[in-house]
Amino acid sequence: MIIRKKFKFEGAHIVRNCSTNRCKKSIHGHSYEVEVFFTSNKLDNGYMILDFGLTKKHIKNIIDSFDHAYSLWVGESDEFKNFFKTNSQRWIEMPVSPSAESYSLMFLKFIDHILKNSTFCNGEGNVEVSSVRVHETQTGYAEAFRPDIDLMQLDIKEVVFSKQVISEWEDKSELLEILDISTDKY
């Protein structure tokens, strides 16, 4: 059995090294839809795989981090990175170029990590994220499945969230602990 939870965010990026000039040379934005699919080996005491309410905490925080934020590739010039970090409160610096494929794999890794480090207390089984689908436009999306998790070398600890993004997280200290993120670099 599979359940799905949908999230949305408005974000901006440049996807360097892609084929399309507009995409790789100009800042642009999208109205993203993120669909997260969950499976389990059993139903909980409420006969659910996972109570959707449990996704409104840490999983929603991670995806919402990208809302009205600029996704900044670490490979950009220092001048470019400093411009965004100086002139925008909401940014995320990523070790990969921010394509829909990268987002889907990155969210898959974040959600997998969150689930593995969460304590469930309603008889849940082995709850797993089976896939993450990121709609960049109404006509196109990328979907990462569990077997794809290592297609991209990405340590979630290398993703840097701006101070403003972190300050808006619900249960910030708990999420920082789950993600094992040090605030020393902020």
Spell out the domains of the chain, with CATH numbers in brackets: 3-185 (3.30.479.10)
The active-site residue, picked from 30, 35, 68, 143, is 68
Can 18 be counted among the known catalytic residues? no
pLDDT band at 25 (very low <50, low <70, confident <90, very high): very high
Can you give the pTM of this predicted structure? 0.95
- Whole-number Å distance between alpha carbons of 116 and 141: 26
Decide the pairing of beta strands 141-145 and 128-135: antiparallel
Reported confidence tier of residue 180, pLDDT bands at 50, 70, 90: confident
Chain centroid, CA 41 distance in Å: 25
**Residue 76 three-state SS:** coil
* 30 catalytically annotated: no
10 is catalytic: no
